[in-house]
Amino acid sequence: MLLEFQGEHPNDEGLCSSQQRKSVAALGLLIILLTGLLLVARYQFRINKQLTNSDLNYENGRYFGVLADIHMDQYQNDTHCRNGDDVEGEWVVHYPTPYGAKLCDSSSTLLNMTIREFKEIEDKTGPFEFILIIGDLVGHWIEGIEPSLESVNKVRNLVSSYFPSTPVYFALGNHDLTTVHYRIPEYVERWYSMISTSLFPGLHTTEFQLLSATKTFNKHGFYKVEHSSSLWVVALNTNVFSNSMNATEEDIGAQFDWLNETLHQAENQKSVSVLLFGHIPPEIEFLDLVRWDSNKNMTWKPDCVARFNDIVGRFSNIIKLSFFAHQHTDNWYVGKSPNGGYINHFLMPPVSPVSRGHPSFSVGVTNGGWDLLDLLYYHSPVEQLTRADQTPRYFYQYSFKEQNFHFNEKYSAIDGALMDGLTKRIVDFEDGMETYTARLMNTYQFRYKPHVSAYEMYCVMTENTSEGLDVCLKK
């Protein structure tokens, strides 16, 4: 009773605290309101930023464009996306979506929109020094010489119509070998020479260089081009290093010998930097941590990873840029070497929406010395926009700098050592891991396994051999 009475007829002190409570509540409401307004403003700022793409003011920046995993499917019609994943080999037709959707490769409509908007970005950044196409130009269900060549030519013709005088460097992907499965065809040298006839005019280089690039490419699928007196572009055929590929030691050894020799020559030039790129990346499979968790799935043969690490580690001072693709996601790794050298190692996102969502392309920014300053990512949520009756277009998604550095934080180059520091940050920051994976999940439907710890993730990103991974995980 007493308690009830006190409750119904509060004393003076109670009255006073009730007033206080009211003011506290009002203050609380105000704080909530202000926080809400702030959040809305911040969101609006982000949206505006995406739309205006205002972050492109790098003084004296050099720009280059990156396309990966285009997977051109010229047999898709203009109204439906298709996939050939059913057992009968019949095409599964999805709902009408000319720009494509998950489970479907790039249609002509999507490719046209992509290259047109890629060009529009170049108009904003300033001319691309070159364009990289990091393999898998050919669609997932395109098999045989003629259809594969048709895919390749579609891509080549479109890119060169928008960028007639920009050097275009491409690397061979596992789908660019005319076989749907991981298999090097018996007619491989014939195929290499056909594809080089198609793609090499885009290199825009001297006759001498063209000749030597053609020579190595037509035999093995790799080549080097002296882009300028300060940059060599080295295109690897990493398909032969793949765990799943039927390559011989002869193929493998020839490429490592050539890589070693080429990097030696570059080093002897004193002022030459190297851009290294290839389709299948040398790493523990990270595409899907569920798979990684059960068997440390290596994308390359373990022996090839060790040989690669050893070579690039010795030349890490001149390898300023290295790009891979194939995983259909964007991510980064630190290429560590037993001899101490680090290289940066970027996985570039795909144009094809087939496996993980939004078609994407990227733009790299370097300084005059080819030190990487930033990577800008653009994507187009084609499926959602089509469903909402909007015409798909590309949006500025994020920049590597903006994503990973604090405001006004200074750095001179995104190199291996810096990337190592960034991966450590992910582990050390309380929310670092969540922020990092949230981006991957939101944009590419990344299947993040919640019980994988930040530290385990760090090990996968910094160790690409199973021995290295074991040592890291036991620490």
Among 173, 202, 335, 468, binds Zn ion (CB under 5 A): 173
The string of DSSP codes covering 369-424 is: T--EEEEEEEE--HHHHHHTT-----EEEEEHHHHHS-TT---S---HHHHHHHHH
293: part of which helix (H) or strand (E)? helix 289-294
In the complex, the smallest distance separating the C-beta of residue 354 from Zn ion, rounded to whole angstroms, is 8
Q: Is 356 in the site for Zn ion (CB under 5 A)?
A: no
In the complex, the smallest distance separating the C-beta of residue 453 from Zn ion, rounded to whole angstroms, is 29
Q: Is 379 in the site for Zn ion (CB under 5 A)?
A: no
Q: Is 326 in the site for Zn ion (CB under 5 A)?
A: yes
The footprint of Zn ion on this chain (CB under 5 A) covers a number of residues equal to 5
Chain center to CA of 96: 28
C-beta of 62 vs 326, nearer to Zn ion: 326
Q: Is 220 in the site for Zn ion (CB under 5 A)?
A: no
C-beta of 318 vs 325, nearer to Zn ion: 325
In the complex, the smallest distance separating the C-beta of residue 139 from Zn ion, rounded to whole angstroms, is 10
C-beta of 280 vs 373, nearer to Zn ion: 280
| Residue range at the interface with Zn ion (CB under 5 A); choices 68-76, 77-85, 193-201, 206-214 | 68-76
Among 69, 176, 420, 456, binds Zn ion (CB under 5 A): 69
User: Which residues lie closer than 8 Å to 237 by C-beta, 6 or more apart?
Assistant: 171, 172, 220, 221, 222, 255, 278
Residue (of 328, 343, 340) closest to 277 by Cα position: 343
| Residue range at the interface with Zn ion (CB under 5 A); choices 221-229, 323-331, 438-446, 447-455 | 323-331
| Residue range at the interface with Zn ion (CB under 5 A); choices 133-141, 159-167, 286-294, 332-340 | 133-141
Q: Distance between CA 123 and CA 116 in Å, rounded? A: 11
In this structure, what are the phi and psi dihedrals at residue 94, rounded to the nearest 5 degrees?
-90, -170
Q: State the chain's maximal CA–CA distance in angstroms.
A: 102
In the complex, the smallest distance separating the C-beta of residue 280 from Zn ion, rounded to whole angstroms, is 6
Q: Is 174 in the site for Zn ion (CB under 5 A)?
A: yes
| Residue range at the interface with Zn ion (CB under 5 A); choices 157-165, 193-201, 321-329, 445-453 | 321-329
- Per DSSP (E only), the strands in 5-113 are 62-67, 80-83, 92-96
User: Which residues lie closer than 8 Å to 327 by C-beta, 6 or more apart?
Assistant: 281, 285, 286, 287, 347
Which positions touch Zn ion (CB under 5 A)? 69, 136, 173-174, 326
